[in-house]
A = this chain, B = another copy of it.
Amino acid sequence: MSLPHAILTALLEQPGSGAELARRFDKSFGFFWPATHQQIYRELGRLEKDGLIRSTGRDSSRGRAKDYEVLGEGRRELQRWTAEQQDPRPVREALMIRLRAASVLGDPIADELERHLRLHREQLATYRALDERGNWGGGNELQRSVLTAGIMFEETWIAWAEQTLDAL
């Protein structure tokens, strides 16, 4: 149950339409909770129906942008959720299964490991660019911490893949 709360957070930071939210999720918000536009529209509909947000524009025909803002009830719900205890979700990394499968089958896996290594180097570069371009300091230290987590995890991934490839 994180997506509706991710959307509430994004709308509190800055109200906007479904398509704008989808773009923000692609750019930064979704690095730790990705979402497609279909998911976003579905959740926006539910949040509006439940009275947590409302659409501000009066023109609501099909192809027109619809801006949303968070209502008091939505802010309270987000506060309740943020204060909750929630254990971390288990990790799911299919490549680890494939390593074990390659191990029991005796099949090669180095090429795929190298490909993933490249992808993670690209992701690291993306995070670093964001980190350098951002203006940090002034109440958004926590936002930067999130980005730092992304950087640290990508660095770890890269270090692990390099040493695993060496050991092959």
Instruction: Using CB atoms and an 8 Å cutoff, list the residues of chain A in contact with chain B.
Output: 2, 5-6, 8-9, 12-13, 29-34, 75, 78-79, 81-83, 85-105, 107, 109, 112, 115-116, 119-120, 139-143, 145-146, 148-149, 152-153, 155-156, 159-160, 163-164, 167-168
Contacts and interface: CB of A to CB of B under 8 A. Distances in A.
| Copies of this protein, total | 2
B116 A98 contact: no
A139 B94 contact: no
Which one of A12, A107, A152, A160 has the greatest number of beta carbons of chain B within 10 Å? Answer: A160
Contacts of A29: 100
Given A5-B98, A88-B93, A145-B160, 14 more contacts: A2-B97, A6-B97, A31-B91, A33-B93, A33-B97, A82-B105, A82-B107, A86-B95, A89-B94, A100-B142, A100-B143, A148-B163, A152-B159, A153-B153
B97 A116 contact: no
B91 A79 contact: no
